[in-house]
Amino acid sequence: MKINKWSILSASFILFGLAGAANIFIHGEHAMGTTNKIPWGILIAGYEYFVGISTGLLLVAALGYVFHMKAIIPIGKSSLMFAIFFPGQWFCDFIGGVRQSA
């Protein structure tokens, strides 16, 4: 397997995300910046982020397929796949956050 700079960058982002998840599991509510008065904190911000990314990816795919923009058609399938993936990622983050706050 050839290791290039993108593989190293991807692996570093994955490790950074795992470190953040471990921090939330260890420290719980305090790591997410929530209290009894503000129980939603990062969960709502995460939802907005992932929905925004998903919407943008769907718009990119629509430019290719609906308006027949030939330059965008090659990335259309990838855009649709990631548009479905990103809200699913938020759901996983939400379930983890709810489990920690309970």
Q: What is the DSSP string of the chain?
A: ----HHHHHHHHHHHHHHHHHHHHHHHGGGTTT--SS---HHHHHHHHHHHHHHHHHHHHHHHHHTS--TTTGGGHHHHHHHHHHHHHHHHHHHHHHHHHH-
Full-model pTM: 0.50
Distance of CA 24 to the CA centre of its chain: 16
Type of residue numbered 1: M
Does pLDDT of 95 surpass 70?
no
Report the percent of the chain where pLDDT is more than 70.
74
